[in-house]
Structure 1
Amino acid sequence: MTNISFLTSIGSVILILMTVTFAYNSSALDDRSQQNLDKLVSQLDTLSDYTIHLSGHTDNTGKDQGNELLSQKRAIAVKDYLISRSIDSSKITISFHGEQQPLVSNNSEENKAMNRRVEITVEAQKQKPELPLLDQPTKQDTLVSKETDSTVKSPAQTARKKDVKKKKVRKRLVWTGWRTGFHWSTSGK
């Protein structure tokens, strides 16, 4: 089972949170999960730049070491599926937590089923429209002098700023857990 639980746009950043759940003691993706992951892949095709983080989890049934291994297998199963659908592996990171970060209390079979999951977080940049480059003159912008037979630059070309470097600051909404929720994080590039 797969649920898109959160989809939002914050400025130039799109954030998608999605959860894939698993059967007891299994890391196999069911047909519905595969179909929903295919929908996610088609959405990613429309974005210019994105990163994907996969976080594997289990319920509290079994030993800690076994649960950590199972949560790793679940995250890898989702990663392998996305890669098989032409997602660049360098855009995907994984983490696995075993039973250490339950979504809900493990006090019922229904709750345990919700905790057997991989959380998918996609952070993406909105597609920017292509603009014509200012330093490529059009016929109207280029003048040829008859006396010297030389090309004169247009005002758009000469007005272009040279070697100006701006520090980009990206804001992103970071999920820190069900107890603490979201918080803003900034990073300079």
Structure 2
Amino acid sequence: MSNQVYIRPLRIEDALISYRWRNDPKIWRFTGSRPDRFITPEMETAWITAVLQRENEKRFAICLSEDDQYIGNVFFTDIKNSECQAHIFIGEVKYWGGLRAYEGGWMALAHMFTNLNLELVYMEMHKNNPGMGGVKKMGWKPMEEMPNGFVKHVFSRQMFEQARPVVEALLQQKRSKPDLLT
């Protein structure tokens, strides 16, 4: 069985799709930051061009395996001293659920821990975000709940190694039974 999604490096031309996500309030309701104005394709292109130059960030697109459609992002920011912050979201609302963010996030974490020698990744996620179940299933450890409803989670290299067989078995089971965990 093949993966539902794959990740690839974010590209400047992705702005022609992602600018629409920036203007959809449904996508940003559980995120810590959201655009404060309407985002044009030109603004998104300029932003992606700038962030792709940052040496302390890695940015990936989540794409559907079946047709290569770009549906979301996994970003790792503030990379320093073997630590970084993760940001994961599916921008194409019709693809919410079905563990696509989970699978894309897992692939990106595997890349980061395996190839970039990370020791710790942290993420802030709103406690009411529907993706919170996937974060728990993967084994992220909640550290603190902030007054704004966000919960800081951490995921270490050791946690990654311990979770690997469980997560990969869950994803394999999901591929063989598509209605599981949707």
Q: RCO greater where, 1 or 2, for CA within 8 Å and sep 6 or more?
A: 1
Q: Same fold (TM over 0.5)?
A: no
**What TM-score does the superposition give when structure 1 sets the normalisation length?**
0.29
More helix by share: 2
**What TM-score does the superposition give when structure 2 sets the normalisation length?**
0.29
Bigger CA radius of gyration: 1
